[in-house]
Amino acid sequence: MKLKSAIAIVAAGALAPAVSVWAQDNPPPLAERTAQSDLPLEGPRGAMQIEHVSLSIAVHPSQRRIEGTGFYRMVPQADLSELQFDLDPRFNVSRVEFDNVELAGSEWRNPDGLLTITLPQPVSANEPVMVSIDFGGMPHEAINPPWEGGFVWSQTEDGQPWIATAVQGEGCDLMWPCIDHSSHRIDTLDLMVTVPDGLVAAGNGRQIGTYANGNGTTTFRWQARDPSNYGVALQIGPYEVARRDYRSSYGNTIPLAFWHLPGNAEGAQRLLGEMADQIAFMEATFGPYPFGDEKAGVVETPHLGMEHQTINAYGNGFRPEAYGHDWLLQHEFAHEWFANQLRNASVNHMWLAEGITTWTQPLYLEHARGRMFYDAEMWKLRQRVWSRVPLVPPEGELPDYNDREAMWGDDIYFKGAWIMHTLRYLVGDGALFPAITRLTYGTSQPVPGEIHPLTRTTDDFRAILEDITAEDLGWFFDAYFHEADLPRLDMRQDGAKVSFEWITPSDLPFQMPLEVRVGGSNRTLMMTGGRGVITLPSADAHFLADPDNRILKYDAAVDAWQNRETEN
């Protein structure tokens, strides 16, 4: 997603695209409800399973306005007399039909972002219904995309419109009537985007057709299966397309495509080559690319990036990097596995998408460049672990991604990645990688064509790991996910005897095995009950605990550096 690290900020600051951004100096604030995603699924909103959405959106760049119609086929999960959708109240709802009958304007209301439609007659559970909603207006403009999201209205160097949406934190209701919750999914999407002639709308899934309307506009039609709500995107510009096919080791052929601005064809083709290498790595490490029946797509955008399903946003400027590959392309593409295939059940478990994805970056470096690159990248990530609040807040508490005091928005990336690094040490590759595969696909042997996204929690991950390892990992998950403070290693020396103890706020003993290097060899203390003792060859013998830095723990030097950085 919107990787807001020191690395990303530097990259964004260095980016100088040929673009001017049309942005309001002080855009009206979002309604309180609209600004929040993952509000409890209560009432009719929590009892609506949407099977299909046909979403038609006409984009008017000169007015910074959209007009849309959403047609929904849904199956109520309970008897309902009302339907409810999330929709930014700055949109005007002009027409609502229920089972092809137009409702009076008095039958719907949306004062606060909860569009409520009173039905002419109640509907029964499991009885399919059809609803269409016409809406339009000037959508919320992103203040700092993609971190503070919305619509981005921009221009290319030669003055052509260049438009994007990035709404992960704020939700799909900034763009269309939807159920704005991480756990909610729709089965199929038919997306039709109408733009002025000369522009191209790159979309999710497969392109079904392009239609010249004869009135100065063109419509692009896309169809996608199982799209994530915030992964549905508008990405519009005077695009050209670079294409190639990738023959997967699983036997299927995956179409690759990069929608880029004119003049960037060479860079787009180079990055498609990098994407092919990344598919090979991800498939060998975790499992098949989940959307090979549609495409692996990328589009150049006027903001840094976002993991829009099968059409990832890319704004990193095609610059060569010392990594040997484009870090942003790799990060967003890995989200196809961890965000678009494996989905967090609520924002509270968002580390599953962001932390595992961030960890794939040093993993890919290890694969492509060697272990030194892995270790160097992990050290970089360690400096951004703050651990001021629990990584998985209690259910019912909605964390704030942009809270710069809590820094939870950093921890879901960097603490999440370091937890995976520590798990790798604790359980080994032979348990951890199969666990990730099962978590992501629901099976240990995923097959292309038989894959559908799964919604998961942190407890699901624990259950899978415990099943594979036959170990109770409650102490690990409690200390790292449900407590704010990192484990501390207390060391006391009495002559040649050194005692070690793990200190955590958890009621459960932290039983992380500890390697201690004495001379040129390592010894492992099992730390039963959170304690261990070692006897040195002599009282002045040098020793080093956790010499390979495999355990996420409190580090006084990092803490002092972070305090100094935040003061400055």
Give the pLDDT mean for 224-233: 95
Is the pLDDT reported for residue 554 higher than 80?
Answer: yes
Helix (H, G, I), strand (E, B) or coil at 373: helix
Q: What share of the chain is helix, strand, coil (3-state, %, to 5)?
A: 30, 30, 40
pLDDT band at 396 (very low <50, low <70, confident <90, very high): confident
In a domain, 565, yes or no: no
pLDDT band at 566 (very low <50, low <70, confident <90, very high): confident
Give the pLDDT mean for 11-36: 58
Kindly state whether residues 66 and 102 are assigned to the same domain: yes
Peptide bond preceding 146: is omega within 30 degrees of 0, i.e. cis? yes
Kindly state whether residues 332 and 476 are assigned to the same domain: yes
Q: How far apart are CA 252 and CA 449, in angstroms?
A: 9
pLDDT for 27 equals 67
Residue pLDDT, tens place only, 426-458: 999 999 999 999 999 999 999 999 999 999 999
CATH at 166: 2.60.40.1730
Q: How many domains does the chain have?
A: 3
Q: What percent of the chain has pLDDT over 70?
A: 95
CATH at 349: 1.10.390.10
In a domain, 296, yes or no: yes
pLDDT band at 28 (very low <50, low <70, confident <90, very high): confident
Kindly state whether residues 299 and 442 are assigned to the same domain: yes
Kindly state whether residues 234 and 95 are assigned to the same domain: yes
Residue pLDDT, tens place only, 109-132: 999 999 999 999 999 999 999 999
- CA-atom Rg of the chain in angstroms: 25
In a domain, 421, yes or no: yes
- Residue where a domain terminates, one of 193, 213, 238: 238
Kindly state whether residues 452 and 544 are assigned to the same domain: no
Kindly state whether residues 314 and 420 are assigned to the same domain: yes
Helix (H, G, I), strand (E, B) or coil at 19: strand
pLDDT band at 1 (very low <50, low <70, confident <90, very high): low
Give the pLDDT mean for 145-159: 96
Kindly state whether residues 387 and 468 are assigned to the same domain: yes
In a domain, 567, yes or no: no
pLDDT for 6 equals 33
Q: Nearest 5°: phi and psi at 406?
A: -70, -35
pLDDT for 384 equals 97
pLDDT for 18 equals 36
Buried b (16+ CB within 10 A) or exposed e, 9-19: eebbeebebeb
- Residue where a domain terminates, one of 238, 254, 271: 238
Contact 200, 190 (CB under 8 A): no
Judge residue 224's burial from the number of C-beta atoms within 10 Å of its C-beta, 0-12 exposed, 13-18 middle, 19 or more buried: buried
- Residue where a domain terminates, one of 480, 506, 539: 480
pLDDT band at 10 (very low <50, low <70, confident <90, very high): very low
pLDDT for 7 equals 33
Residues in the chain: 568
Residues in a beta bridge with 533:
499
The beta-strand segments (E) located in 338-477 are 342-344, 454-456
Contact 258, 271 (CB under 8 A): yes
The beta-strand segments (E) located in 77-128 are 80-86, 92-98, 101-102, 108-109, 114-123
In a domain, 568, yes or no: no
Place of tokens 């549905």: 232
Write out the two tokens for 533.
Answer: 């003792």
Kindly state whether residues 103 and 28 are assigned to the same domain: yes
The overall pTM is greater than 0.85: yes
Measured at the CA of 77, the angle between CA 73 and CA 83, to 5 degrees, comes to 60
pLDDT band at 414 (very low <50, low <70, confident <90, very high): very high
Average pLDDT in the chain: 94
pLDDT band at 380 (very low <50, low <70, confident <90, very high): very high
Is the pLDDT reported for residue 354 higher than 80?
Answer: yes
Give the pLDDT mean for 500-509: 97
What's the domain range around 286?
242-480
Closest CA to 305 of 140, 409, 165, 154: 165
Kindly state whether residues 283 and 352 are assigned to the same domain: yes
Kindly state whether residues 128 and 143 are assigned to the same domain: yes
Residue pLDDT, tens place only, 298-329: 999 999 999 999 999 999 999 989 999 999 99
In a domain, 163, yes or no: yes
Q: How far apart are CA 535 and CA 498, in angstroms?
A: 6
Closest CA to 8 of 412, 444, 267, 304: 304
Give the pLDDT mean for 164-189: 96
Kindly state whether residues 133 and 36 are assigned to the same domain: yes
The beta-strand segments (E) located in 320-397 are 342-344
In a domain, 334, yes or no: yes
